[in-house]
Structure 1
Amino acid sequence: MKSPLAILFAGLAFSTQAHAAPDLTEDVRARIANAVERYASAIACAGVKVQPGNVYLMDPGRLDDRLPKYAVLWTGDIRCQGGSGTEATHLAIATVNTGQYVVQPELSSPVIRFDSPVRFVTRVVSVASDTLVLEGKEYAPADPRSNPSVPVRFTLRADRDGHWKLTDKIHLDKVTDAHGNH
């Protein structure tokens, strides 16, 4: 019979292995991107392409389970509404569960709100379990619908229901460094 201490150490070793941080290899990125592309194609106009570089590992522990979560930004026209201004960047949350790469629709656009102040996200600054720091361009009053010109950095935080709400925004053209440069 094994001692209780040996059983405890064996249990701890298994627990540590089971919850080790997942790798974000190119293969995993490509499989997650493919799952999001299939999801986006089901809810948006055809032709959505999701690049593996748009897959970001979120900190473990988001929401209430221990499956790895991936934030994936994709651009499309949800519900194919057509017209100018209906295509935008959206968010999908994906995971790997029993070897399957899947999108969690209950945590993804359009079920959740993704309160981005910009139509198109141009840069991901950082991703955490409940925080996204992103960049894009807002419209100035005289900008044409197809060409926003005001660069911004903004922070979105997930609330308890999974909605991503705007919590901070700065205009990058007004930010200066220590030398007074914009």
Structure 2
Amino acid sequence: MLHSTRTTIISRALAVAAAGVLAASLSGCSVLEGVLGSGQKPVRDAETQEITEAGQADVFSIKVGDCLNEASGDTVSDVPVVPCAEPHDEEAYFEGILEGEEFPGDEQVQIKADEICYGAFESFAGISYEESELDYYPYTPTEIGWNEAGDRVVSCIIYDPAAQTTGSLAGAAR
């Protein structure tokens, strides 16, 4: 049973779709990185690695603990990031890795990603998903990202459907 209430499956790397078409004609890591994502890295504190300035960040650069504002679209390559001390829509709370050489299909990726995020929800939020007023969804790899870039990362994103939050939702128990 899927526990996410989001109707749109958010997938990684819009630009990865171009990689399948262009990969044969490209050379050099920086050119390929430009096709796979924007390459935009969030501005982080050197010691804590916390985001210190609002801006756009490549979805591949998101880390657990990062605070985001909602990105729109079926497939996402860049996300708006903000310091967690500022009002924000979402927070990355867990990261898991999908196994396998062959892409298992969008439905199986979504099922496995939901299992990963559901399994990590209670230890992060301090309350079971069923008792919580919070919700989550996963950023998942696309088939092209899986095959062309080796993307297997599931980023679990928690949010309050009622309002923006300030600070972390870790241990929120609500």
Common fold: TM-score over 0.5: no
Question: Highest Rg: 1 or 2?
Answer: 1
Q: TM-score range by the shorter chain?
A: under 0.3
- Larger relative contact order (Cα-Cα within 8 Å, sequence gap ≥ 6): 2
If each structure's strand is expressed as a fraction of its own residues, which one has the higher value? 1
TM-score, normalised to structure 1, is 0.24
If each structure's helix is expressed as a fraction of its own residues, which one has the higher value? 2
